[in-house]
Amino acid sequence: MPGITAEQLDEIDFRCFYTRAAIPARALAGDPVRYDSAHAILLIFYTNIKHIIQSMISIKAIPKTNRPLDAPVGRILEPAHNYNARYCSSLKEKQMNQGNNRKIALSHMKRGALCAVLAAFSIAMSAHTPLFAAARADNSAERNTATVQSGQAKYVFLFIGDGMAMPQISAAEVFATARSSKDVNITKMSFTRFPVSGLATTYDAGTFITDSASAGTALAAGNKTLSGVINMDPGKTKTYKTIAEYAHEAGMKIGIVSTVTLNHATPASFYAKVPSRSNYYDIAVQLADSGFEYFAGGAVSQNTGKNNDQPDAIERAKAQGYAYVNSKEGFAALKPGAGKVIAVNETLQDDGAMPYEIDRKSGDLSLADYTRKGIELLQDNPKGFFMMVEGGKVDWACHANDAGASIHDVLAFDEAVRAAVSFAEAHPRETLIVITGDHETGGMTIGFAGTQYDTFFDKVALQKKSFIAFNSDVLSPYKKNTPRAQARLSDLIPSIKDAFGLDYNGLSDFQKEQLEFAFQRSMGNEIERPVAEDRYLLYGGYEPLTVKITQIMNQTAGIGWTSYAHTGVPVPTFAKGVHQELFGGYYDNTDIFRKLASAMNLSIALQ
């Protein structure tokens, strides 16, 4: 090859070239898996192009890279120019032996040319698809958006289904089909059709089975801590800054929406730092001090302290410029320019949470309503917004093993996601939507020993009340007004059928005995706590009769449970929009924080 010698070829630093120019450091900052994939493809390309040139000038050997592909990569990668300095300084290996064997040179050249073509094809394909595993949607509209990678995410939604993993998602999709058809099929929700999906581990600093506080800390601040701790290290001496706080400092508006109380563990994880999630008053004060523009959904619990002896945290928020509304009329009146807002649902249930979707009355506000209002109030900001939306009562329903309540809340969660998708359609190059769970709850599964290979989800469609609504509307008044000696299960059979669709006459003798035993427990006010193991296993600390009803309902439908607590299985993640490709693959829940920061181009300090 005229004009180039072996010595000159040795000076060509392809590796320095591609680390400088071919892999944007910002886009890879949160994604070591993606970096290594790109690194491997470009290294193949470099090696074989060099191989062709070597062959053409009869060079026999090719130096190997000084940086192995499996060299450790930190959670937050260095900029490419740092790699340039570290790995490109020792490339002057001279192991080339010149020869004049034309056949060997030609063989090298042909093999190198083929590999280079394949590598070039891989690079070309990588420009149009994520560099690691990504789920493809089954409709063309989603496929057409699978290449959105450019730019900075200006409008970012993080949806968290508390207690939601694949069993809860699958159950909702099976139910959506079963309530209208006997076909063996599933009706996919909007977010399970997203073009990219991944899987995240959920263990915390002390156990493989996390709670919502440590899981929330992982998602919001990218660090592991102990169960019960919010945005502090395991020693409870160091605090962590959250993705919402970083975004706020960068000029973005912030929205925090939840179906449970606004100072509960998951929403609190985006603005509070406390050694115990039970410090509700301290969290409420930090909510007022956060300066975030939009809080909506459930109430603020213990706003005057556990013993009602503290200054009202709501009044503190008002003094700091927040508008506080707790009626449908006040909520409807909120318009852009309203300033900072705390919007509490008019109808509350379960110690200040929004009602379960199955209990929500016509005309009452939904999670989707609060999501849409958040978009309306936050989108006028030139620097965009970050909104965390939690479907918190999926978790609460699964703790009680109430499949019907869980399924309806997952479907309501999907409606909120649809509101974000509608917004994204108008801002496709500026919006990122990410869906995940913080952990799985209840050990839910599709399949029960008694039904073997069959399921009967149509029976779930007969349920009209959640376990908590049945307690408050039916069982508690009955217990209050009926002496134990006069109480009869038969008195409640019509109400049980109306609330759950459970036909007492169709039950087995064993199931009837179980209901009678649980009824006697309830009438004796013996709500079992985890003191005696056998009693806890029967009812999990809930109202015995109600839990037994939902257990029989679930088992009849072919739904099983293993726990009244959380489990340690990974949770799925789904993504659509700007830099969606970052969220494919298998990673830890702490990486979601880094991936979001990368997509939003935020400068994150190591914590």
At residue 607, the pLDDT reads 75
Residues of the chain predicted below pLDDT 70: 1-150, 525-534
At residue 210, the pLDDT reads 98
pLDDT tens digits for range 162-179: 999 999 999 999 999 988
> Per-domain residue ranges for the chain?
6-126, 153-184+205-317+328-438, 458-560
> Could you say which architecture CATH assigns to the domain 153-184+205-317+328-438?
3-Layer(aba) Sandwich (3.40)
Cα separations in angstroms, 553 against 410, 456, 596: 19, 10, 40
Which residue has 């609504």 as its token pair?
A: 469
Cα separations in angstroms, 153 against 20, 77, 106, 351: 23, 20, 49, 36
pLDDT tens digits for range 5-21: 444 444 443 333 333 33
At residue 23, the pLDDT reads 36
- The whole-angstrom separation of Cα 328 and Cα 346 is 7
- Provide the β-strand partners of residue 196: 575
SS percent in the chain: helix, strand, coil, step 5:
45, 10, 45
Cα separations in angstroms, 196 against 162, 393, 422, 542, 577: 20, 26, 18, 39, 9
pLDDT tens digits for range 297-313: 999 999 999 999 999 99
pTM: 0.77
At residue 111, the pLDDT reads 52
pLDDT tens digits for range 509-566: 999 999 999 999 899 865 544 456 667 788 888 999 999 999 999 999 999 999 999 9
Please answer whether residues 156 and 389 qualify as being in contact, where contact means their C-beta atoms are separated by less than 8 angstroms: no
Closest CA to 495 of 527, 520, 519, 524: 519
Task: Name 57's Cβ contacts closer than 8 Å, sequence gap at least 6.
Answer: 1, 4, 5, 6, 9
At residue 492, the pLDDT reads 97
252: helix, strand or coil: coil
At residue 366, the pLDDT reads 98
